């Protein structure tokens, strides 16, 4: 039985079968875990203090606590926080996960300024009123040597997905829309290019450590192919990992991940 507390990245480093869900998260976990490893070495502490802004029901927070870190989740949704509490308890990490109701704009009403080694901002910038302020607050929550993990919806990935589904007008609309939305039925309020995200991170005073494209192919290939072809999932995961690093593929990725480092942290 795979240990449910192991984050998906572990599947790359063990012989355990990789769950299909790892296609959505493998690249981010790989980058994040390397950043955590560097921070634990640099600080000499095994347990880091992590803030997960808009952390929801704990997709990242609970596995991070499973690695021994202390995670504070700030999220405006009481339902998400309730689910987080339950998941953390089921995983046996309730003592290392704290959920607090709040949002990215009023972050310091509930979280400590300058109090965290790592801040996650995953899938949140799309929804906040002011992305620049959201990022500035996330950065202000970092210790002088800290790391920001930013994940947000990519503009080009949405255009490509609409076009390949035959929704050409919606694809064109997303391409022209300043927020990258394909129409009034689009559930995502805002999407970003890699340049926009790196500008936000640098504008908040961080150095960009790395940019990765996430889900370059995963959302475009028929699921049946991945599920039935022997070895297809592993091969696709390897392809995603290779493409993630190449700037040419960033413009068509479903999501973009930017690792930001405070000037001191990058030297560790
Ligand atoms: C797509 S979910 C991402 C959840 C989690 N970060 C993950 O990666 O699985 C977006 C989350 O952002 C939260 N959210 C929405 N507006 C927010 C805001 N202004 N500040 C902080 N979180 C917000 C939602 O409640 C939701 O939990």
If one residue of 21, 61, 120, 123 were mutated to test the ligand 1 pocket, choosing by the most ligand atoms within 8 A of its CB, it would be 123
Tell me, in angstroms, the distance from the centre of ligand 1 to residue 141's CA.
17
Rounded Cα distance, 76 and 101, in Å? 5
What's this model's pTM, rounded to 2 decimal places? 0.93
Residue among 101, 110, 98, 58 at smallest CA distance from 76: 101
Q: In the structure, which protein residues have their CB atom closer than 6 angstroms to any atom of ligand 1? A: 53-56, 59-60, 75-77, 80, 103-104, 122-124, 127-128
Query: Which of the residues in the chain have pLDDT under 50?
Result: 1-17, 268
**pLDDT given for residue 229 in this prediction:** 85
Written as six digits, the tokens of 201 are 């991170």
Tell me, in angstroms, the distance from the centre of ligand 1 to residue 229's CA.
35
CA dihedral over 124, 11, 5, 119, signed as positive or negative = negative
Give the distance from CA 225 to its chain's centroid: 26
If one residue of 50, 61, 76 were mutated to test the ligand 1 pocket, choosing by the most ligand atoms within 8 A of its CB, it would be 76
Tell me, in angstroms, the distance from the centre of ligand 1 to residue 225's CA.
31
Residue nearest to atom 8 of ligand 1 (CA): 122
Written as six digits, the tokens of 118 are 């790592």
If one residue of 57, 63, 75, 128 were mutated to test the ligand 1 pocket, choosing by the most ligand atoms within 8 A of its CB, it would be 75
Rounded Cα distance, 94 and 236, in Å? 34
Strand partners, 152: 256
Q: Which CATH homologous superfamily contains domain 12-154+192-261? A: Vaccinia Virus protein VP39 (3.40.50.150)
On the 0-12 / 13-18 / 19+ scale of CB atoms within 10 A, 197 is buried
Phi, psi for 83 (deg, rounded to 5): -65, -35
Tell me, in angstroms, the distance from the centre of ligand 1 to residue 104's CA.
9
Beta-carbon contacts of 185 under 8 Å, excluding residues fewer than 6 positions away, are none
CB 144 within 8 A of CB 267: no
CB 7 within 8 A of CB 50: no
**pLDDT given for residue 266 in this prediction:** 59
Phi, psi for 54 (deg, rounded to 5): 65, 40
């Amino acid at each position: 039985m795979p240990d449910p507390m192991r984050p998906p990245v572990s599947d790359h480093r063990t012989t355990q079968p990789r769950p299909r869900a790892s296609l959505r998260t493998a690249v981010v976990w790989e980058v994040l875990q390397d950043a955590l490893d560097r921070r634990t070495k640099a600080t000499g502490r095994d347990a880091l203090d992590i803030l997960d802004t808009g952390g929801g029901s704990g997709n990242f927070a609970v596995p991070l606590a499973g690695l021994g870190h202390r995670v504070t989740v700030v999220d405006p949704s009481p339902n998400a926080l309730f689910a987080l509490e339950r998941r953390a308890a089921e995983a046996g990490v309730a003592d290392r996960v704290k959920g607090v109701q709040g949002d990215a704009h009023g972050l310091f009403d509930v979280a400590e300024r300058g109090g965290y080694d790592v801040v996650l901002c995953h899938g949140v910038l799309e929804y906040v009123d002011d992305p620049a302020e959201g990022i500035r607050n996330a950065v202000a929550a970092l210790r002088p040597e800290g790391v920001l993990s930013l994940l947000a919806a990519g503009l080009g990935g949405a255009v490509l997905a609409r076009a390949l589904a035959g929704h050409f007008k919606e694809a064109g609309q997303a391409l022209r829309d300043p927020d990258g939305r394909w129409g009034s039925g689009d559930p995502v309020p805002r999407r970003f290019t890699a340049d926009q995200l790196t500008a936000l991170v640098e504008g908040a005073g961080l150095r960009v450590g790395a940019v990765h494209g996430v889900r370059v192919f995963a959302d475009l290939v028929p699921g049946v192919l991945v599920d039935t072809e022997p070895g297809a999932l592993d091969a696709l995961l390897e392809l995603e990992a290779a493409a993630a690093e190449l700037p040419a593929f960033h413009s068509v990725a479903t999501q973009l991940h930017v690792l930001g480092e405070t000037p001191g942290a990058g030297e560790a």
